[in-house]
Amino acid sequence: MTDDTSEPRPTHASRRALISGTAAGTGAVLASAPGAAAAGDGSGHRSRSVLDADEHWPDGPGRRNRPQSPDAELRAIMRAVDRRRIEANVRKLVSFGTRHTLSSQTDPERGIGAARDWIYDTMSRYAQASGGRMTVEKQSYVQQPDGARIPTPTTITNVIATLVGSEEPNRVYVISGHYDSRVTDIMNFTDYAPGANDDASGVAVSMELARVFATYRPRATLVFAAVAGEEQGLYGADHMAQTYQDQGVDVQGMFTNDIVGSSTGDDGTRDAHSLRLFAEGVPTAETDEEAAVRRSVGGENDSPARQLARFVTEVADNRSTGMRIRVIYRRDRYLRGGDHIAFLERRFPAARFTEPNENYAHQHQDVRFEDGIQYGDLPRFCDFGFITRVARVNAATLWSLATAPGTPKGLTVDTSQLDNNTALAWEAVPGAAGYEVVWRPTPQDDWTHVIRVRGTRTSTTIDLSKDNVFFGVRSVDARGRRSPAAFPVPASG
Ligand SMILES: [Zn+2]
């Protein structure tokens, strides 16, 4: 297939041929990165590695998929996010000296117990504005010695603010930061461990959004958490995720904000308007059966975490947040993990927000001055304007998720016979006014096209071969608010 301009515009019938010819022939990466699509090789021919999707893939069926722009309520929420409170809360958390999981739980001024009580008291005060819809709890259990980072039975306590959804209390979206901190020696629970960036910054995001959201009434439930035991082994988040699973809670999205405090890397690079979002491809908790399907027909770029990440870029990468979302196609950074993994292990869609460049002199370090370098995770290295924008990204994400209908469930693609259509079916979603099929050429990152399904039907057949593109289905309400997309599983029944 060529891009000969004398060729007639593809008809409905030739669309499939065009797609299959292109997909089979080039193996090209269709560029979606800004600036890449227009590049050439200087010979007058476009380079095959930077093919413009518009010229090599049909522009339909459907219309172009566009980002969701923030509504008036969301803009008001984002304006209410207060930089001064975020800074004050980070500094207050640092003032407890250490928040190491093994530090004192009874000292009223120093240690993780004092931090826990202050977070609880502060969020409880915020919750008073909710008219009883937001509750704050200390969720505790005793972690037995693990032969590694927990030497004696240790109480782990998460502080969790829950704003119960007005229509669907059991559909839940979670943001968390971890309030425990550490220095160089993971077992050192006495020395000064300010943990300003790691992770008072993430806790401050949870706390500030609990305050701002307390007066709002989203459809679904929002959870603003400060968890403990992260540095010792993700213990708090693990307990929290297990509790949700045991209670049958439908967690449709979880984000950990961990190390979201600085915009400056160790080489001095400053990028104050980008935020990384780590989202896994192959699911952590994939079953053998699911793996077999994936090996057969793909889907390694269509995990629930990736759908969540696509959603974040559609609702939060904009002028209102002041942030670009840089989705990273891996579960977490090399050698490191975070609290989202505890949720992924239980099949909850989850991802991690982290600053764009890290400075390891300011993480997990004894506070000291050495060879002209100040080590330690001190508030002076935080960029509080940056954390404020991170909070706005979270606000846009949570609001968009919790006011829209939920992600469709039970989505299947009919594989009972060989044909060149795509027949999709799914379960009705509470509160949905309708549904949209989204699709993209397989080498694309984000959904490029959207097709509105007629009425409130929960099945449709698209005149485009399932062999050649990826499909998803999302729900939409009467005001046009959309859910993240679901990805279909093959069904021949
Ligand atoms: Zn951390």
Over residues 109-134, the mean pLDDT reads 98
In the prediction, which pLDDT does 229 show?
Answer: 97
pLDDT tier at 490 (50, 70, 90 boundaries)? very high
* pLDDT at 26 (0 to 100): 32
Task: Supply the DSSP symbol for 270.
Answer: B
Tens digits of residue pLDDT in 173-204: 999 999 999 999 999 999 999 999 999 999 99
For the chain, the distance separating the N- and C-terminal CA atoms, rounded to the nearest angstrom, is: 36
What's the CA gap between 71 and 81, in Å, rounded? 16
Q: What is the pLDDT of residues 145-154, one digit of tens each?
A: 999 999 999 9
So what's the pLDDT on residue 55?
Answer: 59
Predicted confidence (pLDDT) per residue in 345-381, tens digit: 999 999 999 999 989 999 999 999 999 999 999 999 9
Distance 286 CA to ligand 1 centre (A): 26
Q: In the predicted model, is pLDDT for residue 57 greater than 80?
A: no
- Cα of 318 to ligand 1 centre, how many Å? 26
459-480 pLDDT per residue, tens = 999 999 999 999 999 999 999 9
Query: Alpha-carbon distance 301 to 379, whole Å?
Result: 37
Q: Are 278 and 332 in contact (CB under 8 A)?
A: yes
Reported confidence tier of residue 493, pLDDT bands at 50, 70, 90: low
Mean pLDDT to the nearest integer, 26-52: 39
Split at pLDDT 50, 70, 90, the class of 492 is confident
For the chain, the domains span 15-56, 72-403, 406-491
What is the Å distance from ligand 1's center to 267 Cα?
A: 21
Q: What is the pLDDT of residues 203-228, one digit of tens each?
A: 999 999 999 999 999 999 999 999 99
The three-state secondary structure class of 467 is coil
Cα(39)–Cα(114) distance, integer angstroms: 57
**Average pLDDT of every residue of the chain:** 90
Mean pLDDT of 36-43: 37
Say which residues have a Cβ less than 8 Å from residue 372's Cβ, sequence separation at least 6: none
pTM above 0.85, yes or no: yes
Written as six digits, the tokens of 57 are 């893939």
- Ligand 1: distance of its center to the CA of 120 in Å? 20
Residue 49 pLDDT: 44
For residue range 288-336, what is the model confidence (pLDDT) as tens digits?
Answer: 999 999 999 999 999 999 999 999 999 999 999 999 999 999 999 998 9
Average pLDDT over every residue of 55-67: 84
- The alpha carbon of 28 and the centre of ligand 1 are apart by a number of angstroms equal to 38
Euclidean distance between CA atoms 301 and 323, whole angstroms? 23
Share of the chain above pLDDT 90, in %: 85
Sheet-wide strand order for 250-257? 134-143, 154-163, 220-227, 168-178, 250-257, 350-354, 274-278, 324-328
Distance (Å, rounded) from C-alpha 287 to C-alpha 292? 9
Kindly indicate the confidence band of residue 61, based on its pLDDT and cuts at 50, 70 and 90: very high
Please give the pLDDT value at position 417: 87
- Given this model, what pLDDT does residue 474 score? 98
Q: According to the model, what pLDDT value does residue 25 have?
A: 32
Q: How far is the CA of 202 from the centre of ligand 1 (A)?
A: 9
Tell me the Cα Rg of the chain.
24
pLDDT at 54 (0 to 100): 55
Residue 254 — φ and ψ, nearest 5°? -140, 135
Is the bond preceding residue 199 a cis peptide, omega within 30 degrees?
A: yes
Q: Alpha helix (H) ranges present in 220-357?
A: 230-233, 235-246, 288-297, 304-316, 340-344
Residue 176: partners with Cβ closer than 8 Å, 6 or more residues away: 202, 206, 223, 224, 225, 226, 227, 237, 240, 254, 255, 256, 257, 339
**pLDDT confidence of residue 119:** 98
Cβ count near 107 (within 10 Å): 13
Which structure tokens are listed for 252? Answer: 């449709």
Q: How far is the CA of 198 from the centre of ligand 1 (A)?
A: 5
User: What superfamily would CATH give domain 72-403?
Assistant: Zn peptidases (3.40.630.10)
Cα 261 to ligand 1 centre (Å): 11
Percent of the chain with pLDDT strictly greater than 70? 88
Local confidence band at 59 (pLDDT 50, 70, 90 cut-offs): confident
Task: Tell me how far the alpha carbon of residue 258 lies from the centroid of ligand 1, in angstroms.
Answer: 5
State the distance from the centre of ligand 1 to the C-alpha of 237, rounded, in angstroms.
12
**CA 37 to ligand 1 centroid distance, Å:** 37
Residue 52: pLDDT band with limits 50, 70, 90: low
- Give the model's confidence band at 58: pLDDT under 50 very low, under 70 low, under 90 confident, else very high: confident
Please give the pLDDT value at position 51: 45
- The set of residues, in sequence order, having a beta carbon less than 8 Å from that of 344 and lying 6+ positions away, is 280, 283, 284, 285, 305, 331, 350
CA 321 to ligand 1 center in whole angstroms: 23
Closest CA to 75 of 482, 476, 405, 392: 392
pLDDT tens by residue, 84-109? 999 999 999 999 999 999 999 999 99
Q: Which CATH class is domain 406-491?
A: mainly beta
Range in 60-69, 113-122, 297-306 with the lowest mean pLDDT: 60-69
pLDDT band, very low/low/confident/very high, at 17 (cuts 50, 70, 90): very low
Mean predicted confidence (pLDDT) in 22-40:
35
Are residues 195 and 93 in contact, defined by beta-carbon separation less than 8 angstroms? Answer: yes
Task: Give per-residue pLDDT as tens, 401-420.
Answer: 999 999 999 999 999 988 89
Q: How confident is the model at residue 14, as a pLDDT?
A: 36
Q: Is 154 helix (H, G, I), strand (E, B) or coil?
A: strand
How many whole angstroms from 98 Cα to the centroid of ligand 1? 14
